[in-house]
Structure formats: structure tokens, C-alpha cells
Structure 1
Amino acid sequence: IRERFGRLNRLQQDAFREVSSGKSVLIIAPTGSGKTEAAVLPVFNEILEEGLKPISALYIAPLKALNRDLLERLEWWGRKLGITVEVRHGDTSSYRKAKQTKNPPQMLIITPETLGVILTVKSLRKHLSNVKFVIVDEIVELVDNKRGSQLLLNLERLAEIADFKRIGMTATVGNEEEVRDWLKAETIVKPNWKKSYRFHVLYPKPKEEDRELAEKLSVSPEIASRLRILWEIVEKHGKALIFTNTRQFAEVLAHRLKAWEKPVEVHHGSLSKEARVRAEKALKEGKIKALICTSSMELGIDIGDMDVVIQYMSPRQVNRLVQRVGRAKHRIGEISEGYIIATNVEDYLQSLVIAKRALEGRFEAVEPIGGLDVLAHFVVGLLIEYKRLPRERPYEIAKRAYVYRDLSWSDYLDVLRVLEDARLVGYDEESDLLYLRRGAFQYYYENLSTIPDEVSWRVFDAKSGHVIGRLDESFVMDLEEGMEFVMNGRSWIVLKIDDEARLLKVRESKSLESAIPSWEGEMIPVPFGVAFEVGRLRRELAFDFNKASDLLEGVE
């Protein structure tokens, strides 16, 4: 601890005490508070003191990119303490998986979906019965969607074979007690200090000097003005993260800044792992000044200290703004500074309202959801584990999960009927047992993820021999050989379209007029409370300007 960061902060000390006393704990703290070490150090301590058998702990993180960063961070502690830490997800090689089965690590980092896989691996189950701790990172990313409900059910499956404590981590959230209940934590650990933020909401107007830049980049003077202001902020502060709400807009912004010859890279989930790692490294080493990113950069990936965060267009949610701006100067006691650059009047008013709510600590609640389709998958998973079960057993286990606590017997029977009609599950009335049918395995393993399937095409750079990333099929269908599009902040010309391999062969071009890709399901929803307050602000601006100013007191 002394070598890594001197001493434990108060949050880490409190978490250490509560976890060591045998409690399940929810840790709620802003970005940069040291949540990861607050969660894992008491676990490592128990592994050492009690000589726990592998697999002693599961660390569940919602993003593969976060897993990669976590592995580097946690391996450092592992080397110092003599504790083995490994990662396992969809991209892990068969060789590595086989090795983990024969010689399992003491801590295994996985995605929520991976838990559903390893519970059915017979040779791993004996090791999973040793699990004493399950750490769930970034809970807010899971509570309000089916990935979270699937995780809760799978944790109950794990509880059938292992006795473990739960440790959750999240940034500030509006309904803390409900999130605690969702996880089944006994207590909440929070820092005894309040994070300080400074927000600047800007709505730039074009100046005469912007016209030359507008012509150079083939954009409107309004866009040129926003680009100028954005880069002035980067130059003033130093190293920056520039957040956009969609991958599409990250590409547009990166392409324009690169055309202006600014040292930037782009980072989002549809770029290849290699491209993302190169971008992270370039920022960390100071080779670029800014990284243009989406939510892929919200969740604590280590890219060094940031001086400022810029949000291009409204962040649309208070939780998003605080999470993103918290990445700037995120050490305890420092003020995190963030700028929002608005693109129109509605965007501007929305940004003002969100910044005001953030300063007042009015965070959005995340609403837990279940889903009968997730329940159906869970029933099949249990039967893969146990082959035959009394009909009421899956129902009893499911009702232990927070989002299924009110599940009715009739809804459960409806789910069983659907599974029987699909010939996935059978029911023997005489013995009152459920059993597997032939199609069950295929159904289970093809539906491990609740994230909607997207047919995507790989984009292959013919010159470097590297895969740049992936494009949605809906966009690729409109492309022809010789056409140009933007990806990784650069323009590419299509050399060949390989339908069979779903592969685009491309080479870089210097065009400013290339097509902009679109990806499905990206836009962040605006909460009702924010929308209502924006409407109120519009009315006040129309009828009583002084009253409108009072509504925004404290926001620059």
C-alpha cells in the first residue's frame, strides 16, 4: 500500500473494516476515489489470512475494455501478494480457458455473461464452489437493464453451490438504498467528503476568424466556431477527454479535428481492441492532446491524469455528466473541471439544467427491471447444471433475486409453457420434475447475452494489415467499391467488399466529404425531470428573464 499510494484513504479504510467483518457491502463514490482498491484489498487480505482455495473471488465488470485495464492493475497487486489474477470472457483463447480449468486463479475477472457460461462448465463448478467474494463493478451500468437481471439470477445459481459475500461499486446514484437492496448488500460505504465540480456551459457564436477555418474544413461558421472554442480549452488546460454521446459523432468530431491537423485520436466500442489500446497509450504518453470518446471512457480505464473534460453537446443525464467530468483531476480534494459545448438553443438550455442539477447533487435514480425472457434462459441454465429439478425449484431460486421478488406462480408457469412448446424443456407430471430436451443447449449458448445482436462487418486496412473496427450491416449495405467513409477519425476508400467473410478491404484517403457511419441503439435518453425543468426554463425565459436567472444560480 505504501508503495502504491502511500496509505489507505478513509473510504478504503471503511470498506476494509466492513468487508473484513463479514458483511456484503455497496461502495458509492465518485470517479477517482479509489473504489477498486477499496473493494479488492480486503478480499486479497482474506485470501492471504485464511488461505482460501481458488477460485476465491469473482470480479464482474460490464465492459471487456474495463477488464483489460483491471487485469493490469490487479495483476500488480497479485504479483506483490503472491495471488493469481486472470481474466476470462468471449475473447479469451481456448488454450487459456483450458489452463484456467486445470489451474484456476484465486481471483477471476469476468463479464456478467461469462458467469452464465462458467456455471455450466462441469470441470469449473468444483472451483466455483470455493467462491467467497463476488465483486460487481459499475453497478449503475447493470441495474436498469436485462444484463443486470440476468446477473442477479446467475448469482443465485452460484449461491446454490457457494457461500459468498457481495461487494458492489458505483458512482453516485439517486436511489442508493434500492441499489443496495438490488445487490443484497447489508451496508453502504461512502466517502466522508464531497466531490467538487466546476462546470462551464458554452454556446459559441461565429466570429470573423472562424470563416477561414470553415472554408478549410468545408463546414459552417457555427461548427468552425465550436471547434475553435473546443481547441482553445484543450490548449489552455492540457490533456483532455472530449466526450460525445454517440460513436457516430465521435467519428465526425475526430475527423474534423484531424483535418485541422490537431493531435487527437478517437475511442469507442466499435473500434478494434488494438486501435483502442493505441489511442489510450498515445494519450497516456503525451503523443496526443485529446481523446474523443463515448461511454467507453467513462468507466475508469487508466489513461493517466486528465486536466479537463469537454462534453460536446448536452450530456443528457446528470449521472453521465458527473461520471465524465469526474475523470478530470480526479484526486481527492481537487476540483474536476468540465465544459459543455452546446450546438443549439435546446441543447444549451438542457446543458444548463443538467449542470445545475449536478451542482445540487440531484442525481437520477436507476430503475431495476426484470424480464420473463431472462427468466426462461435462467430455467434452462439451471437444468443444464442439474439435469432434472422439481418444478417449483427454479421459481424459488428466482424469487430470491431482487427484480423477481414479486414473480407470480402463474407468470412462471407461462414461461415454462413457452419453453415446453419450443421443445427446450419437458415436464413429467408423475414425478413433478422438469427435464432438458434436445434443443436446450443450443438455445442457452446462443442467447448468453441480452445485448441485442448486431450483424457487423470487419474493416481491414490493406496497407497496415490491421483490422480497424466494425461497422453495422445497415451502413455497409449502402456502400460500394470506390466509395469513402469515416472510421477511427480518418477517411477510407472501399477497395473490396467480401460478402462471404463480411469484410471490407480499405485504404486511407484524405477526403473531407466521406460518409459518416451510424451504429444502432446509441442515443442516451433524457430523464423526465430534466425535460420538465427545461420546459419550465423556456417559459421563464419567455416571460420573466430575472426569474430564469434565479433558476440557474451557480452555473456559469
Structure 2
Amino acid sequence: MSESIGFNLLHKDVQRWIWTQNWTALRDIQERAIEPIIKANCDVIISASTAAGKTEAAFLPACSRITEINPDGVGILYISPLKALINDQFRRLRSLSEILCFPVTPWHGDVLRSVKDKQKKRPGGIILITPESLESLLLNQAGWCSKAFSSLSHIIIDEFHAFLGTERGCQLQSLMHRIEFMLGRIVPRVALSATLGDMEQVARFLRPSTKNYPCEIIESSTSHSDLKIQLRGYLNKASENEESTTGFEGIVDDLYKILRGKSHLIFANSRGRTEEIAATLSDFCEKNGVPNEFFPHHGSLSKEIRESLEARLQEDNLPTSAVCTMTLELGIDIGSVDSIAQVTAPHSVASLRQRLGRSGRRGDAAILRLFIPEDEITTKSHLLDRLRVETVQCIAMINLLLKKWCEPAPGNQYHLSTLVQQTLSVIGQYGGVRANQLWSLLCEMGPFCLVDQQIYVGLLKALGEHNLITQMRDGQLVLGVRGEKLVENYNFYTAFNTPEEYRLECEARVIGTVPIDKPLVVGQLIIFAGKRWEVLDINSDKKVIALKRATGGRPPKFGGDGQSVHDIVRQEMRRVYIDKAMPIYLDKTAKETLYEGIDCFHSLGLESTSLLQIGGTVHVLPWCGDQITTTITVLLRRTGLAADCFGGVIDIRNCTIDTFYKSARAILHNEHPTSEELASHVPDTIVDKHDPLIPKELRDLAYGRRYFDVDGAIEWMEGMCQQ
């Protein structure tokens, strides 16, 4: 340690704590983070793999600083996306805080009031808090916050990637800006994450409102441990009636044989599949007379069940595999697991990278096992299945993972729902605020910079019409009767909600429910329960979608459900087909399915064309992300073509290639619609929590920006028509 420049900058009591941990040296990110955090004259972003020491990289210098200056009040505000992560960090920081003689206070809905009251009576040390609890503090105890945070040295945000581009992330931006406005000064921010893409974009997201404040970006120069990958393929056999029998049994059987006896995380993407896999694996254990070691972990389970499983993983006394959704992607300390299993294609490269970081944490190789089913090819198979798109997408994502690329956060969003929440919260915090002051705080100087005065006036008028706010004679805006009730409810503190479930009906018979989180219009085809359906009607009031069975061949197995796929992923998929390379990590079945997909791609001449005529259907392969592909589809539908998109491929029924080109040229020749105009034809643009309070024209503006990319679609069409 004597050779460490950073170590010598730390407070002597922090140095003493490091010695008690028996560390022989600081890690690279810890060494590099000490000086900029201690100086407290810039923001800092620390990006490194899971278990690379990011927590200590932030807290050791930040704690050194507040020990040195002895602030009158809270010195560090730590913000986490998860209550479980706060509990975990509280446990990890306790010994350090005891040596430094200041409190560490967890602050969320499950923390005892007595713990919070102790901090309220004598504010100091570190507060570990969620955005929702911080919202409640600023709204209900603004006076205490002003005094308690008066000497605040740093705001540390953990798992920063979980906030990027989301409603909750926009809320976090606003909360940090409101704290600085309240204090009348800048508070340096430290962001921690294992998965970040464009670092300059991340820096802009960390502080969108102050253009010239410096930001130090610290990325780990230490390479990760070795990576071992295997992709196992499975074939869904087609029966006589052309319905596929699932390869699920083969996947679960292999999960049991390969994983039993050690600890693993099994990511299954959907909650339903998570429960199904966990239940089947548990049944296998019972059938074979061995103790169960497979347990589900997702957001719908009780706190006790989740925490019991997390503790079992952390103790590492018994072999334990958690079958989980994204709940165990983030940095809850569960120790090291032997491998990561991914059932079906991952949602994104960023997600895959985050999940992989949970393995190989003790110097061992990180192990990634993918279990990917494909349908057996028949005469009725869809082009997507013949191209083996799910297998190819997995390979493309692994390639990009190895190149250290991951998706950038979606930017330039209006986030009007969160602006409604923040407007009401600020009015509640101060009792009364003028409209120009609100716009200046939240929009001109705050994170809602896309919202001009005209848009904001329209939003305020709508809030007034809903009796959420009232204007006094002196021009001050105060909460209306309905507004007071809204902000007094604990649900108000949450900026996000899950998409509402729509009931799917065919001839008045309910066939299931789905969340609608992508544009959907009458006449469009959707895939549900392995069948193709045509949308007859969308009742946004009753949340009902009327369907009828659509004619045609079997629908594609891989419809691209889940999060939006990025342009770079689709372009990498095309490169996989063109290069014909056979990755060494594929098993025999996966190699066979990939070979089938590559052979299909080249036999159809897709290396030189993006259009195919098969029977009465034209297939368009733009090799673009979902936003551009969806926009192309909607533009074609506006010309009268029966266009639908699945997994990045656009199907146009009852069409010819000549008809496609005529429609494309007509689109290019005519005045191009705005994304807002495209959104105006979507029956239900209510997506986010407070969208029902927003006028339709403003909602269309935000929805269009979120789901459509007209410029990207037009650029692709121009390229097509020039060929």
C-alpha cells in the first residue's frame, strides 16, 4: 500500500479499515477514483464488472472527505434502485462506519420508523435510500431536508444503468436537481455501474442540466476472468396437425443434469417461464429423492421468500440455483455462482453482460450457458423460423458482448408522465409556485429540457381541468382537491407502473391477457399462444382486444417479444449470416440449426436483397432495430398495404415486390408524416403512470418520439429505391 498514491490521500481511519480487511493493494478503479472524489469538484462515473470493487471505489474517498470536514448533517446520499441492495450495502458499510464514528441509515418502506427517527433527530453520516423514499422526503419534509442536506458532500447512485432512459431515471434526475436548487449549490454525483454503453451519453444523463460541470469517467482497465460459453440447441418437433411439441422438456432435463450440485442463476426472461422451470426442476428433485436446490426468484414473490433465497446463495453452504427474471441482474451480494444459464434469447447485450457479471467472481472463469429452442422446419414454416433467427440473434449478441459493446440508453424523450409527477411534487413541497418558476426549475434548468413553454402551459391547463392544481389570484399554483388526495397517497412517490394488461377475446371467449407496450392498430396481426391473430377492435376503456384467427402458414416461433432490439444487433445478425462462421461454443443441434439458417439466407439471395416474394406475401428484411422497423411497417400500412412485423421481418400480405416499390416511392414523394402524426392513429397511447392526465396531442408527441423513427425509416426506403 505504501506505493499507492491514492491510499495516502485517504483519511487515516479509512486506511486503518483497509488494513483490517487484509488488502494487499487497491484495485485499479479504487486507486483512480480517490483523488477526484476527495477533491469533490467534478462528477465521477465508475464502470467496471460486478465484484470489481465499485462500492469501495466510491465510498472510501467519499467517507474520507466527510470524516475530514465533519459536516453538520448528512454527508453522503446513496441512491439505489432496489431496497434489497440498500440492505446489502448497509451490511457492508457497517464496519467502516463504526471505525469512522458516523451512522449509516437505510431508508425505505421496510425500515423501522425508529431507525428513521434517530436520523431525523440527529442527521449525519450516510443515508441509503430509493428514489421513491427520497421523493417522499422532499415532498413531506422539505424543511428537514434543507437542514439535513445543507453540508451534503456527494450523491452516489448505484446500478446507474438501471435508471438510464427510464421514467424512474428521469425522476432521479429531477430529484437530484431539486436538492441542488434547494441548497443553492452543485453537489458532486458519483455513478456506479457494471454495464454502460456510450460513456459520454451516460455523463450527459448523469447531469443533463449543467453543461460545463466536469465529469471524470473511470473504466476498469483490468480484464475480466476467462469466459466459457456454450449454446445448446433444442428442436421443437412438429406433430401431424402442424402444432409444435415444445422442446421445454429437453431444456429442463439438461438444466437438471448439468446444474445440479452447484450454485447457478437461471434467467428465463418471463415470470411464467420462471415458475414453470422452477416447479419442474423441483419435481425432478422430489422424484429422484434428493433435496430440492432449485427455487424461483421474481418481483411477485414475497419479500421473505426472496430474501431467504438470497441468504442461502450468499451463505454458499448448499448447492442453490435461482430461476429468476431480471431481479437478480443487479448488484445484490449473493456471492459467486458457478454459472449463468439463459433460457431463450436474452433481451439485450447489456442485460446479457450484466447477468454474466454474476459468475466467475473468484478468479474462476465466468460460465455462460444458453438453452435455445427452435421449431422443426416444415413446408408451412415462417421465414423467421427457416432463418433460425433466435439462434442467430444469440450469436450476434455474444459477438457484441465480446467486443465490449452494449446498447446506449434511449435518449431525447419527453417523459411527460414523470413531469406531471414532479410538477405536483414541487407544488406540494413549496406550497405554491408560479408557472414560470416551475418551468424554469423542471424544464429550462432541469431534466425535462425538451419541453418548451407552450407544451408546459398545455400540460398545466390539463392538470387544472382535472382539478389537480388551482391558480390563486396572485398567480401562484397550488394543489387542487384532487391533487392533494393524489400526492397524499403513498403510490404517488413511484414514477413508473407496469403496462396495463389487455384481455384478448375471440368471439367473446377470453383467450388470455397481454401487456400492450408497443404500437397496435386494427387490422394488425399478432402472435399469441403459438397462433396468428388479426386485431378486429381495440377498446382502450375496457382494455379489451377483439381478435379473429388469421389465415396463413404457421406463425414464427420467435416473434421478437420483449425489449426493443437495437440496430447494431440486427446488423451484426446479418454479418453472422454473410460470414458463415460456425462458433466453437455451439453443440451439435445448435450447429445444425445455425447451418440451416445460413443455408436458407444464402439460397434466398438475402446477402444482396432485402425483399422476398413467397406466394402472395412479400417479406421485407431491413436489418434495422425495432423502432425503425415498426415505423416502416406503419408507413406501409398508411398506403393501404397489409404490413405486419415480427422479430425484425416485415410481412406484407397480398402484395408483390412491384407494389411494395410503388408504395415506397409514394411515401418518399409525398410529405413525410411526423412521428406525432403516426402516433395519432394508435388507438391507445397511454403507457406511463400519469398519461391519462395528459392531453392526447401531447401524449401523441411523447409516444411518437418513443416508438417511431421517421427519419431512419425514410433513409432506409431511399436506400431501397436507389438500388
Matched, 1:91 2:110: yes
SS at match of 2:394: helix
Distance 1:314 1:371 in 2: 29
- The amino acid across from 2:476 in the alignment is L
| 1:189 alignment partner in structure 2 | 218
Distance 1:532 1:151 in 2: 33
Distance 2:404 2:260 in 1: 30
| 2:298 alignment partner in structure 1 | 268
| 1:234 alignment partner in structure 2 | 259
Q: How does 1:504-515 map to 2 (within 5 A)?
A: none
Distance 1:92 1:455 in 2: 30
> Quick one: structure 1 residues 182 and 455, their matched pair in 2 at CA, closer, same or farther if it must change by over 3 Å?
closer
> Is 1:328–1:337's contact at 8 Å kept on the other side of the alignment?
yes
> Quick one: structure 1 residues 400 and 234, their matched pair in 2 at CA, closer, same or farther if it must change by over 3 Å?
farther
> Quick one: structure 1 residues 428 and 338, their matched pair in 2 at CA, closer, same or farther if it must change by over 3 Å?
same
Among residues 222, 247, 253, which one is paired with 1:222 in the alignment?
247
| 2:273 alignment partner in structure 1 | 249
Distance 1:61 1:305 in 2: 21
Q: TM-score, normalised by structure 2?
A: 0.61
Distance 1:454 1:445 in 2: 23
> Quick one: structure 1 residues 90 and 289, their matched pair in 2 at CA, closer, same or farther if it must change by over 3 Å?
closer
Q: 1:234: Cα distance to partner?
A: 2.2
Matched, 1:440 2:463: no
**1:35-72 C-alpha deviation (Å, 9 max, x unpaired):** 11111111111111111232221111011222221221
> Is 2:294–2:323's contact at 8 Å kept on the other side of the alignment?
yes
Among residues 99, 113, 128, which one is paired with 2:149 in the alignment?
128
Matched, 1:201 2:231: yes
SS at match of 2:247: helix
SS at match of 2:369: strand
Moved more, 433-442 or 148-157: 433-442
Q: TM-score, normalised by structure 1?
A: 0.78
> Quick one: structure 1 residues 5 and 318, their matched pair in 2 at CA, closer, same or farther if it must change by over 3 Å?
farther
- The amino acid across from 1:173 in the alignment is L
Q: 1:205: Cα distance to partner?
A: 6.0
- The amino acid across from 1:48 in the alignment is T
Distance 2:163 2:246 in 1: 41
SS at match of 2:433: strand
Q: 1:346: Cα distance to partner?
A: 3.6
Distance 1:313 1:4 in 2: 41
| 1:58 alignment partner in structure 2 | 77
Among residues 14, 23, 27, which one is paired with 1:9 in the alignment?
27
| 2:48 alignment partner in structure 1 | 29
SS at match of 1:450: coil
Matched, 1:413 2:457: yes
> Quick one: structure 1 residues 354 and 183, their matched pair in 2 at CA, closer, same or farther if it must change by over 3 Å?
same
Distance 2:460 2:247 in 1: 58
Among residues 316, 320, 331, which one is paired with 1:300 in the alignment?
331
> Quick one: structure 1 residues 276 and 349, their matched pair in 2 at CA, closer, same or farther if it must change by over 3 Å?
same
Q: 1:310: Cα distance to partner?
A: 1.3
> Quick one: structure 1 residues 376 and 161, their matched pair in 2 at CA, closer, same or farther if it must change by over 3 Å?
same
Q: 1:230: Cα distance to partner?
A: 2.3
Higher relative contact order (CA 8 A, sep 6+): 1
Distance 2:479 2:320 in 1: 56
> Quick one: structure 1 residues 370 and 92, their matched pair in 2 at CA, closer, same or farther if it must change by over 3 Å?
farther
Q: 1:296: Cα distance to partner?
A: 1.2
> Quick one: structure 1 residues 128 and 455, their matched pair in 2 at CA, closer, same or farther if it must change by over 3 Å?
farther
**1:247-285 C-alpha deviation (Å, 9 max, x unpaired):** 221111111111010522221111111111211222233
> Quick one: structure 1 residues 64 and 420, their matched pair in 2 at CA, closer, same or farther if it must change by over 3 Å?
same
SS at match of 2:159: coil
Distance 1:400 1:100 in 2: 34
SS at match of 1:286: coil
Distance 2:488 2:368 in 1: 43
Distance 2:445 2:131 in 1: 15
SS at match of 1:343: strand
Distance 2:223 2:599 in 1: 32
Q: 1:127: Cα distance to partner?
A: 0.9
> Is 1:149–1:370's contact at 8 Å kept on the other side of the alignment?
no
> Is 2:174–2:447's contact at 8 Å kept on the other side of the alignment?
no
Distance 2:194 2:572 in 1: 24
Q: 1:27: Cα distance to partner?
A: 1.1
SS at match of 1:260: helix
Distance 2:445 2:568 in 1: 29
> Quick one: structure 1 residues 390 and 225, their matched pair in 2 at CA, closer, same or farther if it must change by over 3 Å?
closer
> Quick one: structure 1 residues 110 and 400, their matched pair in 2 at CA, closer, same or farther if it must change by over 3 Å?
farther
| 2:318 alignment partner in structure 1 | 287
Matched, 1:367 2:410: yes
Q: 1:401: Cα distance to partner?
A: 5.9
Among residues 423, 433, 452, which one is paired with 2:497 in the alignment?
452
SS at match of 2:110: coil
Q: 1:78: Cα distance to partner?
A: 1.6
> Is 2:76–2:127's contact at 8 Å kept on the other side of the alignment?
yes
**1:347-368 C-alpha deviation (Å, 9 max, x unpaired):** 3222111111111122111113
> Quick one: structure 1 residues 122 and 158, their matched pair in 2 at CA, closer, same or farther if it must change by over 3 Å?
closer
Moved more, 242-251 or 384-393: 384-393
- The amino acid across from 1:341 in the alignment is F
Q: How many residues align?
A: 471
SS at match of 2:481: coil
Distance 1:370 1:41 in 2: 37
Q: 1:455: Cα distance to partner?
A: 10
Distance 2:215 2:246 in 1: 56
Q: 1:131: Cα distance to partner?
A: 2.1
Distance 1:202 1:118 in 2: 50
> Quick one: structure 1 residues 400 and 337, their matched pair in 2 at CA, closer, same or farther if it must change by over 3 Å?
farther
> Is 2:264–2:338's contact at 8 Å kept on the other side of the alignment?
yes
- The amino acid across from 2:271 in the alignment is R
| 1:213 alignment partner in structure 2 | none
SS at match of 2:352: helix
| 2:10 alignment partner in structure 1 | none
Distance 1:244 1:272 in 2: 19
Q: How does 1:480-519 map to 2 (within 5 A)?
A: none
Tell me how large the CA RMSD over aligned residues is.
3.0
| 1:336 alignment partner in structure 2 | 366
> Quick one: structure 1 residues 186 and 206, their matched pair in 2 at CA, closer, same or farther if it must change by over 3 Å?
closer
Among residues 73, 81, 90, which one is paired with 2:100 in the alignment?
81
Distance 1:201 1:387 in 2: 58
| 2:677 alignment partner in structure 1 | none
| 2:377 alignment partner in structure 1 | none
> Is 1:426–1:435's contact at 8 Å kept on the other side of the alignment?
yes
Distance 2:39 2:448 in 1: 29
SS at match of 1:182: helix
| 2:541 alignment partner in structure 1 | none
Q: How does 1:352-363 map to 2 (within 5 A)?
A: 352-363=395-406
Q: 1:402: Cα distance to partner?
A: 6.4
| Pair member with larger Rg | 2
> Is 1:314–1:351's contact at 8 Å kept on the other side of the alignment?
yes
> Is 2:268–2:344's contact at 8 Å kept on the other side of the alignment?
yes
Moved more, 384-393 or 52-61: 384-393
| 1:480 alignment partner in structure 2 | none
SS at match of 1:342: strand
| 1:529 alignment partner in structure 2 | 568
**1:395-445 C-alpha deviation (Å, 9 max, x unpaired):** 11113666422321111111221222222323346x443333333332224
Q: 1:151: Cα distance to partner?
A: 1.3
Distance 1:401 1:111 in 2: 24
**1:146-197 C-alpha deviation (Å, 9 max, x unpaired):** 1111111111111122342111112232221111111126121111223353
> Is 1:16–1:41's contact at 8 Å kept on the other side of the alignment?
yes
- The amino acid across from 2:194 in the alignment is A
**1:317-368 C-alpha deviation (Å, 9 max, x unpaired):** 111111111111125x653221111122443222111111111122111113
